[in-house]
Structures are given as structure tokens and as C-alpha cells.
Amino acid sequence: GAVVSQHPSWVICKSGTSVKIECRSLDFQATTMFWYRQFPKQSLMLMATSNEGSKATYEQGVEKDKFLINHASLTLSTLTVTSAHPEDSSFYICSAREPGLVGELFFGEGSRLTVL
Amino acid sequence: AQSVTQLDSQVPVFEEAPVELRCNYSSSVSVYLFWYVQYPNQGLQLLLKYLSGSTLVKGINGFEAEFNKSQTSFHLRKPSVHISDTAEYFCAVSDLQGAQKLVFGQGTRLTINP
């Protein structure tokens, strides 16, 4: 199956700094990627839909200026958590859909962010 | 808009016993249905999916699920579980059109005891 890779897997940063998480589709081109956030022992909450070459579509309640999403190429989307605070600590997971494959999403390994 | 309800947050089962993880969904339109598994500190892996056709869907690792339109359910089953099946299981739906965003249920923690 298709492979989606995230980097870094773990990141610890100081409050007030910005952190960038990368999501790559390794063996296919993804015009659309999705970013999810998962709190401990909870479900995945969709944050935004990342569209190659255009602005991301954010879900209600997600701060656009806080979570910057860039989808500059067909194989790379990035999520930047700006001016991170402890409440931004979470597990962030990206996913992508392989063109022509109905419905199914392929997920990255996830990135655990801890803000001190 | 769609929603998914997983009725059990935790399911403890003895090894080699059968298991059923329940999932009900709500939608005003036709949907695709999925079950994903998540191991600790990892992303999600697809177990199986229902797009159309036969309502009984077989997936990886011996899992299967049955789509019941009248009951709006998509329960996951396995006749005999193994220790390695210990994980978090998520039911999800997406609509057939547009971005086909996945909406997840709350998850069910399956714990297999020896």
C-alpha cells in the first residue's frame, strides 16, 4: 500500500517557539492531505484539509494563524505550530489519499509534540 | 454531516475468544465505512472498508465487519483474538463526494488477556 511518512516523530520545544512537522507521500502524489490532532486516549479530530497549490481548509474552531499549513508540492505538506504553548502538546497525524483509490486514507506515523 | 458512535470505550477479552466491537453511524447520505487500528504511538492502519456491494467485508488479521443499513451499524468481529490484537480500534465514515473527509468514532481499546 501507499506510504505516508511524518517527521519528526517526537519533538520537545519551549513555550513561545514554533515547530514544523512534515508529512510526505513517499510513493504517490497527493493533491489532498489531512491533518488530525489526537489527545491522549481520545479520537482523532480533523484540523484541516491541505490542498496542493492553494490555501488549506480549516475545521471550525481551529486557529488558522496558530496552525499554519502549507502544501507546496504533490508529495509534501507541512504543519507549523506557531508560538507553541503547553496546551498545544498533542499527537499530530497526517494522512493522504492515493489518487484513484476511493475513500481510503493512508496515515503517517504521527508526531508527538511536547511544549514545556 | 456524519457522526460515529463506538459504544464501548474498552473491551477486555481473553486470548482465543471471539470479539465484537460495535459501531453505529449517523448520516443523511450514503457513506463509506472503515475500521482502522492504532498501536501505541503510531499512526492508523486500515483493517477493512465498505464501499458498496456485499455487506460482509473481510479485512486483514482475520477481522471482518458487516454493514447493516437499517440499523446504521458496522460492527467489527474476529472469531479468535491474539495478544497482538491489543490496540485501539477506530470506526470511521466519509461521504461519497467532495473531499471525503474521514470522521472518526471515539475509539475502542481492545485488551487481550492471556
Question: Which pLDDT belongs to residue A1?
Answer: 67
Determine the Cα–Cα distance for residues A67 and B15; give it in Å rounded to an integer: 43
Residue A37 buriedness (CB in 10 A; 0-12 / 13-18 / 19+): buried
Question: What is the structure's pLDDT at A110?
Answer: 92
The answer to whether the Cβ–Cβ distance between A109 and B106 falls below 8 Å is: no
More confident residue, B13 or A27: B13
Q: Do A105 and B102 touch (CB under 8 A)?
A: yes
Give B46-80 pLDDT, tens digit per residue.
999 999 889 999 999 999 999 999 999 999 999 99
Do B105 and A43 count as a contact with CB atoms less than 8 A apart? yes
Q: How far is B69 from chain A (nearest CA, A)?
A: 18
User: What is the mean pLDDT of the segment spanning A35-58?
Assistant: 89
pLDDT of A89: 95
Are B100 and A42 in contact (CB < 8 Å)?
no
Query: Which residues does residue B37 pair with via DSSP β-bridges, in sequence order?
Result: B45, B89
**Please, what sign has the CA dihedral across residues A62, A67, A71, A75?**
negative
Q: Is residue A8 reached through a cis peptide bond, with omega within 30 degrees of 0 on the bond before it?
A: yes
- A107: chain B residues, CB-CB within 8 Å: 36, 43-45
What are residue B41's DSSP bridge partners?
Answer: none
Which of B44, B45, B48 is most worth mutating to test chain A (most A CB atoms within 10 A of its CB)? Answer: B44
